[in-house]
Structure 1
Amino acid sequence: MAGQGRQANENDKNVVVVMVPFPAQGHLNQLLHLSRLISSYDIHVHYVGTITHCRQAKIRVHGWNPVFTSHMIHFHEVPTPAFSSPPPNPHASLKFPSHLQPSFDAALLLREPVAALVSLLSPTARRVIVIHDSFIPSIIQDVVSIPNVKAYSFQPVSTFLIACYYSEIVGKPLAIDDDVARKLPRRGTTMTSEMMQLVNRQKRHHKYSSGVLFDTCRAIEAPFLDVLAKVNAKQWAIGPFNPVEVCNKSTDQRHNCLEWLDNQAPDSVIYVSFGTTTTLTNEQIHALASGLEKSDQKFVWVLRDADKGDIFTGNTRVCQLPKGYEERIKAKGQGKILRDWAPQLEILAHVSTGGFMSHCGWNSCMESMTMGVPMATWPMHSDQPHNALLVTEVLKIGVVVKDWTLCNELVESQTIEKAVKELMASEEGEKIRKRAMELGTAVKRSVAEGGDTHREFDDFIEHICRFHHRSHL
């Protein structure tokens, strides 16, 4: 694992990192994983967020136990003004979680608390490093003028997506052929206008960053990292942030779905989960239920409504299955339906898991690729259509369930059944699985001693611990 086993030297002492994530689950999760990696270099990390989102990040982390790093990762829970968020709307024409926009906008209120924390740390630290989500660079504008403070932007999306945007300036990567280019979504069509306005208002603040961090590695995205190296003065590909070795052995706290997986054949189960920001209509849930059952393949399905602005308050919609479905699936031993938070990394790492039907959020893509699990892609919004193309058209480690050009249409049960069978029970599916497993092996090799990620992580740590006078920044 990147960062583990390296001895801290005197130059590392009294360097602290302030981590500021964007308040959406995938973003919170990635920067908490990064906090763990940085803390393994004997560097204290201060993780800043609202009270709700710090709590959310801690209770949902998987693959490691934050208790073991509590002396190195310090949470700063910021009270924010109360705001109301509407419930998720399963009938919205665009699946972007517009109901979370109030909490996204409230993230900009972290500017003053971050400045106060950095001002408190600066006099006693040789250097303060602020790593902020690229969605909210304005929150560090007050601290970058402090002589011993430097800020770095974290990009929570694939370099494939970013390289597509920069291709007009620096040229199209060779890995993007004309067929792929024709399938790229048009700008502004994957988010709401309100979110686009937030992103656009933040653009002028990117100048405060001294470099860019990516949750990826060359084994996955080398051509796109090469493109971005032409526009970024400093960049580091230091992913995957998530643990690459996950223990599935029996423990008292082990999730019961893992025990069910223990009794299934290797590579025989497809894991179905669409993340935390997507809500489906009852009609679509019924079609998915039918398609999974008719495929005759084993499955673990996480069936939850999208997160609310505050996941700890109020009632949550219970997604309805066809009458008698859950009992029938259980009696046949075909599947397991989870309605609570699922240990995704442990499920993907399990020997019985042979596929992942996913919304293609970057967190989920990285976790699936890390564990060598092929994907059935069903993008919903934001970066997900790009990620789906990367998986199916570029890396060729997945099959399409839903084409983004048909994003407003119901995915029929027959389409779902066909995609599941193709991935889990066909000769082509076996070829895809073999490529996914080879990629997973390459990713694990990347984070091992001497691998690309391991070297880049060491380089980043040495960079932030090296003393530079202000004129050199």
Structure 2
Amino acid sequence: MSNFTLTVPSSLAMASTKHVLLFPFPAQGHLGAFMSLAELLHRAIPSAAVTLVSPPRNVAALSATAPPWLAFHSLPFNPADHGLPTHAESADALPVGFPLVTLFEAFEALQPAFDGYVASMAKDDSVVSIVSDLFVAWAASVARRNGCSHAFFASCGAFGTAILRSLWENVPLSVTPTGHVPVPGFPGKIFHKTQVSEVMLRADGEDRASAFCHRQIAHSHATDGVLINTVEEFEPTGLGLLRSSLRVPVWPIGPLIRVAGARPAASADKVHDGMVSWLDTQPPASVLYVSFGSQNSIRQAQMAVLAMALEHAGRPFIWAIRPPVGLAVAASEWLPEGFEKRARDENRGLVIRGWAPQVTILAHRSTGAFLSHCGWNSVLESLVHGVPLLGWPLAADQFYNVEMLEKECGVCVEVARGSTEDAAPPEIDRVAELVETVMGQTSKAAEMRRRMKCIGELMRGAATDDVGSSKKALESFLGATRMH
């Protein structure tokens, strides 16, 4: 849920027969962002009905902890019919390394059922507005056919979204002899090929991933605009690039983040409480939190280097870990022999397999830095809680998030890059040195913390001040979609 409350004028809360349909792509970061968006819209227009649409298992999981005002609608979906593992209705349910494009393609098969549902709603006098994920872009065409307004909700940042869209529009990509990739349409934006996902480097315009992205881009022209989980003052460059390429209104309404203390299930209570108790025993700003997100991981050789670097750095840590990429080994064999036991015995670190209460960790006074893949939700949660970043991007927009955070914002230091077979593990001493640079008594660390504090204040102000940019953007969106 959103951590901030927008105080919206009473004119936005007038009684009406208005209905907002939310259609996220089923990945943890996307689902969480859409749940936060649902809360934001409910606070702004409490008289409107808000319904989230997804396949049955996702609906069951989300509705178990959802507020009573949020409705759900299940769309029929059998994963096995689409070559997916049994019960895999979300990206988080896929094995590490399973081609995500299979789930993207499978979701396209939901279009007839969604079209029928929207058509049944559009028969009455309701004003229906559809907000869909960028990966469910065909929902814009459904909206057009049924006379509904439509907006995309981009749960990624503006800069990363703009770069990714341009690159996918122009595959196969041009790679210079020095290994650099110019971004078409954005003069001066050039990245190294190690900052481009492997699937995109291989794309020839005819492969499955290219075909899917081109279909979604074609559908996207039917939208009325884009909501995006960022802040105008924080991403002026990225928002400028996005607006110039999309040529539709772009409304930055962030930051939408989860609330500290939220838990996905009662089974997580023990993990949550034990971790908080351990954090309570640590000095302020002393703990390094390590996580590569709910879908990503690094290779076993990279894990070994990171583990040794953590020991070498000597700082307390929490490591939320997933199985290594490309190797099916027992959990006890993921890390160097004795690593976890030494960490426990010395009260120096925790290794968590499975769910970890990320926002609770970042909000805790003992957390001093976050070694992250820099997915956008993790970035926002770190920024809002003032925790400097060590970036290890692995895919998609993560490379461009790190680029912006390090070079434009000065709140991140890149530690390593990628988890492909040819991605060499970083040097142990270098990782340990960078951890100390960000967490120690250095001028770099002091400047990063100062910048983090300024950004956090900026973001809170955008959402809560009477003339805050995110508050005004939300009001503009509601007016444009007749939700006013």
Deviations 1:306-337 (A, max 9, x none): 89xxxxxxx99636222222121112121111
1:271 aligns with 2:283: no
Q: Which amino acid aligns with 1:198?
A: F
CA–CA separation in structure 2 for the residues paired with 1:96 and 1:437: 36
Query: Structure 1 residues 233, 349: CA separation in 2 closer, same or farther (over 3 Å shift)?
Result: same
Deviations 1:103-143 (A, max 9, x none): 22211122122212212222335211111111221244233
How far off is 1:264 after superposition?
1.5
Pairing 1:54-93 to 2, within 5 Å after superposition: 54-55=59-60, 57=62, 66-67=65-66, 69-70=67-68, 72-83=69-80, 84-85=83-84
Match of 1:36 in 2: 39
Query: Structure 1 residues 196, 255: CA separation in 2 closer, same or farther (over 3 Å shift)?
Result: farther
How far off is 1:227 after superposition?
3.6
CA–CA separation in structure 2 for the residues paired with 1:247 and 1:142: 37
Q: Secondary structure at the match of 1:40?
A: helix
Query: Structure 1 residues 460, 3: CA separation in 2 closer, same or farther (over 3 Å shift)?
Result: farther
Match of 2:471 in 1: 454
Query: Structure 1 residues 291, 58: CA separation in 2 closer, same or farther (over 3 Å shift)?
Result: farther
Quick check: 1:153–1:213 contact (8 Å CA) kept in 2?
yes
How far off is 1:338 after superposition?
1.2
Query: Structure 1 residues 108, 219: CA separation in 2 closer, same or farther (over 3 Å shift)?
Result: same
Using structure 2 for the length normalisation, give the TM-score: 0.81
From 244, 249, 255, the counterpart of 1:234:
249
Query: Structure 1 residues 383, 227: CA separation in 2 closer, same or farther (over 3 Å shift)?
Result: closer
Moved more, 298-307 or 122-131: 298-307
Pairing 1:434-453 to 2, within 5 Å after superposition: 434-450=450-466, 451-453=468-470
How far off is 1:52 after superposition?
3.0
Deviations 1:13-45 (A, max 9, x none): 221111111122222221121112112221322
Quick check: 2:38–2:50 contact (8 Å CA) kept in 1?
yes
Pairing 1:67-146 to 2, within 5 Å after superposition: 67=66, 69-70=67-68, 72-83=69-80, 84-85=83-84, 97-146=97-146
Query: Structure 1 residues 9, 282: CA separation in 2 closer, same or farther (over 3 Å shift)?
Result: closer
How far off is 1:426 after superposition?
4.2
Match of 2:298 in 1: 280
Q: Secondary structure at the match of 2:425?
A: coil
Query: Structure 1 residues 322, 189: CA separation in 2 closer, same or farther (over 3 Å shift)?
Result: closer
1:329 aligns with 2:343: yes
1:429 aligns with 2:441: no
CA–CA separation in structure 1 for the residues paired with 2:477 and 2:84: 39
1:53 aligns with 2:70: no
Match of 1:389 in 2: 403
Q: Secondary structure at the match of 1:443?
A: helix
Query: Structure 1 residues 142, 226: CA separation in 2 closer, same or farther (over 3 Å shift)?
Result: closer
Q: Which amino acid aligns with 1:445?
A: G
Q: Secondary structure at the match of 1:255?
A: helix
How far off is 1:185 after superposition?
6.0
Q: Which segments of 5 or more consecutive residues in structure 1 lack a partner in the other structure? A: 60-65, 89-94, 173-177, 308-314, 468-473
Q: Which amino acid aligns with 2:433?
A: K
Quick check: 1:216–1:240 contact (8 Å CA) kept in 2?
yes
Quick check: 1:267–1:352 contact (8 Å CA) kept in 2?
yes
How far off is 1:86 after superposition?
7.0
Query: Structure 1 residues 100, 226: CA separation in 2 closer, same or farther (over 3 Å shift)?
Result: closer
Query: Structure 1 residues 184, 363: CA separation in 2 closer, same or farther (over 3 Å shift)?
Result: farther
Q: Which amino acid aligns with 1:444?
A: R
Pairing 1:123-202 to 2, within 5 Å after superposition: 123-147=123-147, 149-164=148-163, 172=187, 181-183=190-192, 189=198, 191=200, 193=203, 194-202=208-216
How far off is 1:187 after superposition?
6.1
Match of 1:261 in 2: 279
Q: Secondary structure at the match of 2:6?
A: coil
Match of 1:470 in 2: none
How far off is 1:184 after superposition?
7.5
Q: Secondary structure at the match of 1:124?
A: coil
The size of the alignment, in residue pairs, is 436
Q: Which amino acid aligns with 2:331?
A: V
How many percent of aligned residue pairs carry the same amino acid? 25
How far off is 1:216 after superposition?
0.3
Q: Secondary structure at the match of 1:143?
A: helix
Deviations 1:331-352 (A, max 9, x none): 2121111112111112111111
From 346, 351, 356, the counterpart of 2:360:
346
Q: Secondary structure at the match of 2:257?
A: coil
Q: Secondary structure at the match of 2:432?
A: helix
How far off is 1:257 after superposition?
1.1
CA–CA separation in structure 1 for the residues paired with 2:33 and 2:324: 19
Quick check: 1:188–1:196 contact (8 Å CA) kept in 2?
no
Match of 1:417 in 2: 432
How far off is 1:144 after superposition?
1.4
Q: Which segments of 5 or more consecutive residues in structure 2 lack a partner in the other structure? A: 89-94, 167-181
From 299, 313, 321, the counterpart of 2:317:
299
Query: Structure 1 residues 189, 339: CA separation in 2 closer, same or farther (over 3 Å shift)?
Result: closer
CA–CA separation in structure 2 for the residues paired with 1:219 and 1:279: 32
CA–CA separation in structure 2 for the residues paired with 1:318 and 1:216: 37
How far off is 1:282 after superposition?
2.5
How far off is 1:212 after superposition?
0.8
Q: Which amino acid aligns with 1:463?
A: A
Q: Which amino acid aligns with 1:45?
A: V
Deviations 1:262-312 (A, max 9, x none): 2222211111000122233322222211111110111111012389xxxxx
How far off is 1:211 after superposition?
0.6
CA–CA separation in structure 2 for the residues paired with 1:101 and 1:58: 26
